[in-house]
Amino acid sequence: MKNMKISRRKALSTTAKVATAAAITGIVGGIAGYLAGSTGTPQAGETVTRTVRETITQTVGGAGTQTVTQTVTRTITASTPTEVKPELSITFASPEWLPGRLTGLIAKDFTTWSKANIGKAVEVKMDLIPWDAIFDRLSTTLAAKSKEPTLLISDSQWLGQFYTGGHIRRLNDIIERDPELQQLINRFDESLIYFYMTFPQGNKNNIVGFAHEGDVLLFAYREDLFTHPAERENFKAKYGYDLPQRYEDWYPAQLDWYQIRDIAEYFTRKAGDELAGRRLEQDFYGIALHMSKAYDSIACPFGTLLYVHGEYWWDPETGQVDGYINSPRAKQALEFYKSLIKYSPPNALEIWFDEANSVMQAGRVAMIYNWAGFLPSLFDPTASKVYNVVKVVPPPGHKGQDGIFRRYSNIGGQPMCINAYSEHAQEALAFIKYWFLPENQKKWAEGGGGVCIKDIVQTNWFRTLTPYNRAYADSISFQVDFWNVPFFFEMLTAVQEEIHSALAGTTDPAIALDNLARRHREIVEREKYPTAFQQYGKPAKNVAELIRRGLPIG
């Protein structure tokens, strides 16, 4: 090292050489980049086709189990977005899934539209966040009073927490001043306004979001099995009634969840048994529905069963819990939910949307109860062994001991909200108007998005566009949600933990619901609900009362 002496001249000379080389590389790279960019830029007025790629990690069963990652592609057509140079960028935070990517594609044309309609070229940049992390990311970002994202997707149950914390904007004043937005409000189904757009639920004095991605839980079943003559005959001989065969046998017919259990029992077979004239090489299961501990995986299907048994989580007006979630009807609902495990795949307690799809795609289950938003991959020949024999229908109901047939299902889906700290609320509102333009809603529907505008949803065009749109359209009216109060996550976690314990057999179902009621009561008392939240008004209707009486919510 001592011998390594470098003269000042040599050092300067070397530095100059390095700088010159870097400058030349930069210039050459810049020219190349410019040329490459120019070649790739579509000309004005040209129509470009963009592809949304949905990656599905699919587990293919068999003797040698393997995990295969497959890519499903959807194509939507959009006009050239590059005519106008953006003057302003706003961020739209969304879950990282097909609707999020599709939103990004539709948003590309907003720059041109905004220049023409609000006089400012605004670019909407998507911030796609995995589902597992989005609540944490958004809540911490909003707690830090960050100005971006300007627009954000909020799961319906987050609305109370975000709104009471002052993080998302109340939109009533803006809507009152804008006839276009007033008209838009009238185009949503009442149940979507109730559960996606207001806090407290249904209270139109606080509109805090616009329905973006509609989603409902639907039944997907194997039509080839349900219509097989021998299976139909054997089923009728055993249970005394017919297997549902047509869409109308599921809806509007009053198919009962207890019949679903019969069907699940009937189709549960062992390897070596015969199914629809073929010898089974592997075990076959009757039903797969969500029972995993993750997020709201249990709360949604159990919510459905609770409602069809004539019960609700609590009294949303008084916050009373006892006599609701631990009532005999609730206990019956949980016993029923647990009884389905016998006819489910062995991984029943880990099943969420992905696992339910996997077992159907592998051709090893007769029915699944899953989110419409995740059903497209069932119809993809590259991902599903049964892509051509799956039908989608609305969920069944249940006729209680009081003789009332109740058909309710727990809603999914999300609204889009405006960040209260953003300085670009006007641009965000412009985007909302742009989003609901008929041509964009058409693109949204064609790409597989859950349209929330009722005059589109009820058209024949929409209902026949995908294998699941008809069931989605028919199901919107009987959707119900759980609490969207600021302390929802604690309520939700208690549900997931207690009911998962009951399903796993570590707690008796009745005790689990008593524990749940105790935990919920402690949370409600600590939070001083509803007194501490009176300033926000109260829910528009008493959902618990309506469900008990078997009346519609919307």
Q: Footprint of other proteins on this chain (CB under 8 A)?
A: 59-61, 63, 65, 67, 135-136, 139-140, 142-143, 161, 164-167, 292-294, 345-350, 355, 358-359, 362, 364, 486-487, 489-490, 493, 496-498, 500-501, 503-504, 506-507
Q: CB-wise, 158 or 324, nearer to other proteins?
A: 158
Q: How many CA atoms lie less than 13 Å away from 420 in the CB half-sphere?
A: 17
Question: What string of DSSP letters covers 332-371?
Answer: HHHHHHHHGGGGS-TTGGG--HHHHHHHHHTT-EEEEEEE
Query: Minimal distance in Å, beta carbon 173 to other proteins?
Result: 20
Answer for the pair 341, 509: CB distance below 8 angstroms, yes or no. Answer: no
Query: Minimal distance in Å, beta carbon 503 to other proteins?
Result: 7
Q: CB-wise, 444 or 482, nearer to other proteins?
A: 482
- The Cα–Cα gap between 363 and 224 comes to 11
Query: Minimal distance in Å, beta carbon 321 to other proteins?
Result: 18
Q: Is 85 exposed, middle or buried (0-12, 13-18, 19+ CB in 10 A)?
A: exposed
Question: What string of DSSP letters covers 170-202?
Answer: --HHHHHH-HHHHHHHTTB-HHHHHHHSBSSTT
Q: CB-wise, 414 or 496, nearer to other proteins?
A: 496
Q: CB-wise, 294 or 546, nearer to other proteins?
A: 294
Angle at 440 between CA 435 and CA 443, to 5 degrees: 135
Two tokens, residue 361: 């795609």
Q: CB-wise, 217 or 359, nearer to other proteins?
A: 359
DSSP class of 206: -
Question: What string of DSSP letters covers 468-511?
Answer: THHHHHHHGGGEE----STTHHHHHHHHHHHHHHHHHTSS-HHH
Query: Minimal distance in Å, beta carbon 339 to other proteins?
Result: 16
Query: Minimal distance in Å, beta carbon 159 to other proteins?
Result: 13
Q: At residue 210, what are phi and psi to the nearest 5 degrees?
A: -120, 135
When computed from its CA atoms, the radius of gyration of the chain, rounded to whole angstroms, is 27
Q: CB-wise, 48 or 143, nearer to other proteins?
A: 143
H helices, E strands: number in the chain: 23, 17
Query: Minimal distance in Å, beta carbon 59 to other proteins?
Result: 4
Two tokens, residue 167: 């993080």
- The Cα–Cα gap between 138 and 145 comes to 11
Query: Minimal distance in Å, beta carbon 69 to other proteins?
Result: 11
Query: Minimal distance in Å, beta carbon 2 to other proteins?
Result: 22
Length of the chain: 554
Q: CB-wise, 174 or 294, nearer to other proteins?
A: 294
Q: CB-wise, 142 or 171, nearer to other proteins?
A: 142
- The Cα–Cα gap between 552 and 543 comes to 9
- The Cα–Cα gap between 282 and 522 comes to 47
Q: CB-wise, 207 or 288, nearer to other proteins?
A: 288
Query: Minimal distance in Å, beta carbon 322 to other proteins?
Result: 20
- The H or E element that residue 454 is part of is helix 454-457
Query: Minimal distance in Å, beta carbon 341 to other proteins?
Result: 10
- The Cα–Cα gap between 376 and 301 comes to 20
Q: CB-wise, 506 or 531, nearer to other proteins?
A: 506
Cβ-Cβ contacts under 8 Å for 126 (sequence gap 6 or more): 91, 92, 94, 100, 101, 103, 104, 107
